[in-house]
Amino acid sequence: MKIEILFEDDYIIIVNKPNNVLIHNSYYARNIKDDTLLDLLEKQLNHSFYPIHRLDRKTSGVLALAKKKEDVAVFQQLFNSNTIQKTYLGIVRGFAKESQLIDSPVKNPDTKVYKDAETICNCLFSVELPIAVHPYKNSRYSLVELKPTTGRMHQLRIHMNKISHPLVGDYKYGDRFHNRMFETEFNCHNLFLHAQSLSFTHPKSYKTITITAKLPKDWKTIFEKFKWNFKV
């Protein structure tokens, strides 16, 4: 598997992470034996990298990594100080509101302590299909733009479940009937959550950097089926 490189300089590399690829080995994914993103990048570029932030294994999209371990903290400060803009796209069950703020706390899986979490959700497109999904005769979906201002584990997946618009393809927090329909009707088996862009001021060069990652091919299939005029 070749990883798409979106940006590179002397300090960092930004890539388009595929669905279903772990960034690195962890206790939570101890049963997964496939190559991690770090493994794949080291084979591809003959260089070790250090993650600056994280994406869930099933989430695709923009991911930044440092070339030197000592630079990780410098770039992480952008996330800690909320001076970096992160934009995600998701396909969810139901008709989402045009715009809303979700500010439900999210539980840390290690400490079991709830922490404040905030996500801005904007609906871009909606559709109703004549395809029955239990318990209804028709099914409804929305394409949403998600902008988290905090970075809790599984935050977006939990928040969309909280407002009754779970992400399609999410088998932990989602709706299994709609997940199954996407698999049988459209042959789409991945989580529909994509880190579309990052925008920040580079702490070394002081340049404004904006990086956008193309969507996986499943999204093009769905946009064509749903007649959503959105550039993949």
Say what the pTM is: 0.94
Domains of the chain, each with CATH number or no CATH: 4-226 (3.30.2350.10)
Q: Which residues are catalytic?
A: 56
Q: Kindly report, residue by residue over 170-212, the tens digit of the pLDDT.
A: 999 999 999 999 999 999 999 999 999 999 999 999 999 999 9
Query: Residue 28's pLDDT band (boundaries 50, 70, 90)?
Result: low
Mark 141-164 as b/e (b = at least 16 C-beta within 10 Å). bbbbebebeeebbbbbbbbbbbbe
Query: Residue 30's pLDDT band (boundaries 50, 70, 90)?
Result: low
Q: Is the pLDDT reported for residue 29 higher than 70?
A: no
Mark 13-30 as b/e (b = at least 16 C-beta within 10 Å). bbbbbbbebbbeeeeeee
Query: Any idea which residue has 């999210």 for tokens?
Result: 106
